[in-house]
């Protein structure tokens, strides 16, 4: 038996699959998006950009921008009864 993968892409085959019309590279303007502190953002992981993914448990979640870290944004997301911090590049964010 082969040991099960425990990497960042674990169990994401269906979750990050894109529809046939959306396949290929995403528009480059998505990486130039700007968000202000306090603004709401939706985390939608774009599988055509491999860098800057948050953990896949944050996919589809909405959070609040609380800061910036390099090119990435720090997002506060409520998961269960806790608030978690996700560090996400702008390619994987959308306006809420």
| Residue 5 covered by a domain | no
Range of the domain at 63: 25-95
- The predicted model scores a pTM of 0.88
pLDDT of residue 8: 79
pLDDT of residue 7: 81
pLDDT of residue 12: 87
| Residue 13 covered by a domain | no
| Residue 84 covered by a domain | yes
* Domain at 76, CATH number: 2.30.30.70
pLDDT of residue 36: 97
Positive or negative: CA dihedral 12, 58, 94, 27? negative
Alpha-carbon span 93 to 53, nearest angstrom = 10
pLDDT of residue 11: 86
pLDDT of residue 10: 86
| Residue 1 covered by a domain | no
| Residue 6 covered by a domain | no
Burial class of residue 86, CB neighbours in 10 A (0-12, 13-18, 19+): buried
Q: How many domains does the chain have?
A: 1
| Residue 90 covered by a domain | yes
| Residue 14 covered by a domain | no
Walking along the chain (96 residues) 10 residues at a time, the average pLDDT comes out as 85 90 92 96 93 92 97 96 96 94
pLDDT of residue 44: 95
């Amino acid at each position: 038996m082969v040991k099960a993968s425990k990497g960042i892409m674990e169990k994401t085959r269906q979750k990050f699959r894109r529809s046939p019309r959306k396949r290929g590279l995403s528009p480059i303007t998505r990486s130039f998006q700007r968000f202000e502190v306090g603004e709401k953002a939706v985390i939608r992981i774009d599988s055509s950009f491999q860098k800057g993914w948050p953990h896949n448990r944050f996919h589809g979640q909405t959070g609040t921008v609380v800061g910036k870290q390099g090119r990435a944004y720090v997002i506060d997301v409520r998961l269960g009864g806790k608030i978690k911090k996700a560090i996400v590049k702008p390619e994987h964010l959308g306006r809420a």
